[in-house]
Structures are given as C-alpha cells and as structure tokens.
Chain A
Amino acid sequence: MIRVVLPAHLRTLAHSGSEVQLEVEGQVTQRSVLDALEARYPQLRGTIRDHVTQQRRPFLRFFACEEDLSHEPPDAPLPDAVASGTEPLLIIGAIAGG
C-alpha cells in the first residue's frame, strides 16, 4: 500500500484525509502513483500535473524520505521505503511569494 500526503486544498477537493493509501500495480514511480491517485480521485486530474504534457505543475514538489524528488524522471523508481509503505510520498505546495 502506497501512502500519499496531499496539500490541504487538494484534500478538500478530493474529500480525503491528509493521507491517502493507494494500491499501485507494478513498479512504484511518480507516474504510477499519480496514475493511481487520479484514478481514485478523478477531480485531481490537472491539479498536480498537466493534462497533456504530464509535467509537474511548477509550484508543486514531491518529497519523500527527506529528499526532494521533484526533478527525478517520472518513471524512476521511488525509494523502497515509499514502495513498501513505510514512508509516504509528500505532495507539497511550494511556499511561494515574498
């Protein structure tokens, strides 16, 4: 079971708690996790990554195991601790502004 922590506005949109748990088929990557997340919560499509390019929205980041994974390729395996459910994948809204 993969654990994903959503930022507050996306929890509201998904009507979920802060952490959601997902079954992911095959290798656990950013893409497979987001595919599973969007399949469970279709209203999140387009809010984390672009509908067409599938690129991460610029003000969102992906953290796990105290690392910033935002610039990892979408098909790169996520850390074992995420794949095993020991650690969550954190989707973070960047603190932007001045």
Chain B
Amino acid sequence: MSKVRVLVGTRKGAFILSSDGKREKWDIDGPHFTGFEMYHLKGSPADPNRLYASQCSGWFGQLIQRSNDGGKTWEPVGNKFVYDGVPGTHQWYDGTPHPWEFKRVWHLEPSLKDPDTVYAGIEDAALFRSTDGGQNWQELSGLRGHGSGPHWTPGAGGMGLHTILLDPTNPQRIFIAISAAGVFRTDDAGKTWRPINQGLRSEHIPDPTAEVGHCVHRIAMHPSRPGVLFMQKHWDVMRSDNAGDLWREVSGNLPTDFGFVIDVHAHEPETIYVVPIKSDSEHIPIDGKLRVYRSRTGGNEWEALTKGLPQRDCYVNVLRDAMAIDSLDKCGVYFGTTGGQVYASADAGDTWAPIVRDLPGVLSVEVQTLQ
C-alpha cells in the first residue's frame, strides 16, 4: 500500500504529515526544531528515508539537519557556507555595491541518484553542493561569477536562490532561479551558467526586457519533459518549450497573474497549478477567496478550483516553496498558507480539505510518495 509523507517547514518548526494512499486520515508529527524557521525540508529521491532540512534563526544562524529514518530522528550536519574566493559585490536596493553575505539556506535539492549529494540555494544568491551528506559544502561559483553577478539585486524578501531543478535526463543540466535576478541554466554540471530570461517582460525594472533582473518567483517542470518549463514570475505566468531559451506568457484568463507557487501534475505534463494572489502590494487572495487555478492546456485556459477551500474572509498567502504534488493516481496536490493551514487534494485538485489548520505560517511543503 502506498503512503505519502508531507514535509512542512514553518516559521516555528517542522511538521511531518503522513497518510496512506487514500490520503483521508493523517498523522501529524511535530513540531521538530521548535522555535526555528524551517525554510525547507526535502527527501532524497534515491533514498526516501534520507531527509535534509534548513533550520534558521536570527539568533543562532543557519543549521542543516539530516535524517536517515524518514524524519524520526535528526542530526545536525555542516552549516559552513563560505563563498568561493573573494565574494565581491552585488547591487543593493539603492543601487550601490553591497558585499555578498551569507544569510540563510532557502532551498535544499537532493540529487536524483545519490542520497549523499545535495544542492543548497542560499541568500545572498549562490548555489552550493555537498557530496558527503551535507557535512561539507562547496560553492558552484560559476553561477555567481557570471558576468551579470554585480548587477543582481535583492527582491523585497532578500536575494535568495529559491528554485533548483535537476534535469532527470541530463545530469549536466540544472536550472536555478533567483529573486530578483531571474533564471539561469548550466549545461556542464554547474561549471558555467547563462541567464535564460529572454521573453520575460518586467515593467518594474528600468529595462523591462533586461537579460537579468527579473523577479522570478518559481519555476517547475515535469520530469518526462525537462525541456518544458513553467514559471510564476512576480507578475505573469510563463512557459518555455526550449529549456528556457525563450519564454512566452500563458497567464490567459487568470484573475491576476501575480503569485508565488507553480507546479505540474504528476501524470499530465500539460496540467499545471498556480495560486493567484491579488498583487505585489497586497499579498492576499482576491475577494477573500482562496482559489487554486488549474490549466489542462499548459497555460492560457484556467479553471478555478474552489471545492473545500475557503471562499470568503480568507486573506492568507501561499509562498513560493509551499506547493507540492505526489505521484499517486490520482495525484495529490498540497499547499500551505501563511495562516498555518495545509490543504490537500487527493483528486488532482478537484476537491480540497485541510490536513491541519493551525500551524505556524507555512514556508515550504514537499511530499514524498512511498511504496
């Protein structure tokens, strides 16, 4: 019997939500690391019991935790993230040069093949890799060393590298996204990188079609088609059919194309999900209605999914790492809110129910499908 394990990072600890394949009854385990900001937890595809977690605190800085038993027990591993060479500067909010400074790990992406290899996306934006289970971390400095690095600027939430997509068909290819620099791709396993932001248009930057400077909130792919990417930009939902070489807008009939999350159905590569948020200045759902939107056509044509979601007086946000999809049939869709709810749909989004309602604000949601 299949099982699912949902890994939830919140502002005050981590929670592990478990269910069988029916996804009706849930066990809530936690909080783990009580009081800490848990930016992200993720399991290794190669060994589902190997989990990694990013634990942060304004007092005590960054910790990385590792579990070898599916989250029952944890051990701290390496937390030393040192930029390669002389870090140099990026652009600060006021346009002045600002030294690169490590602040926190936003996202952990375990290798598809090796449980001991894991990537970390950090703020100030850089990509690190560990090949010894998180004990030691080395920067893939070709990214930050890209010629545009001195011009990268933080978004309102900081200059975080928040998305890491590993191409399952090509171990040399990795996509990453940074707020607010944009999307970058390597085709040589991280040695060299190039920005892939052509087709993006951002009216809030001096050159709306600049090579870098776009506030990309999230990108997603289906593993069967790694050349097709979907993007929730600050404003605009976008897609690329050529591995990011060119993007086109697919916002279509969305009520607003601002938002943070985007994800792809487990079995239908043209079915995608977003949660429209009213605007960048308000960060709340439109009209107090929490609605997931689904497109079965790879964008442009969207339907509102509302059954089981609050349709009045709801003013929560859904942050960029807070949606995940399991691989059961029908696939489960999960998302967490800044109000502490984790919603689940066991039927690909048709109906929803909260797994839990009163957690601290949710920063991240991942799901593991276990056999």
Contacts and interface: CB of A to CB of B under 8 A. Distances in A.
Interface stretch (A26-34, A45-53, A82-90): A45-53
Contacts of B79: 45-47, 51
A96 B80 contact: no
Contacts of B30: none
A59 B76 contact: no
Interface string B64-82: 0000000000001001101
Contacts of A46: 61-63, 79-80
A74 interface: no
Nearest to B36: A9
Interface string B107-141: 00000000000000000000000000000000000
Nearest to B82: A52
A1 interface: no
B63 A13 contact: yes
Given A9-B36, A51-B82, A52-B82, A57 B76 contact: no
A90 to B, nearest CB: 14
Nearest to A10: B60
A9 B76 contact: no
A: interface residue count bin: 10 to 19
B35 A51 contact: no
A94 interface: yes
A60 interface: yes
A52 B100 CA distance: 14
A93 interface: yes
A9 B82 contact: no
A93 B76 CA distance: 20
Contact of A94 (B35, B59, B76, B82): B59
Contacts, number: 41
Contacts of B80: 45-46, 51
B63 A47 contact: yes
Given A45-B80, A51-B80, A96 B60 contact: no
B60 A47 contact: yes
A96 B60 CA distance: 13
Contacts of B63: 13, 43, 46-47
A43 B60 contact: no
A96 B57 CA distance: 12
Interface of A is mostly: loop
Contact of A57 (B35, B59, B82): B59
B59 A60 contact: yes
Contacts of A50: 61
B58 interface: yes
A13 B59 CA distance: 13
Contacts of A7: 59
Given A9-B36, A13-B76, A43-B76, A93 B59 contact: yes
Nearest to A41: B76
Contacts of B35: 9
B360 to A, nearest CB: 16
A60 B57 CA distance: 12
A59 to B, nearest CB: 4
B82 A96 contact: no
Contacts of A43: 63, 76
Interface in A16-62: 43, 45-48, 50-52, 57, 59-60
Interface of A: 7, 9-10, 13, 43, 45-48, 50-52, 57, 59-60, 93-94, 96
Which 10 pairs, one residue from A and one from B, show the smallest C-beta to C-beta distance? A47-B60, A43-B76, A59-B59, A51-B80, A93-B59, A46-B79, A46-B61, A47-B61, A59-B58, A52-B82
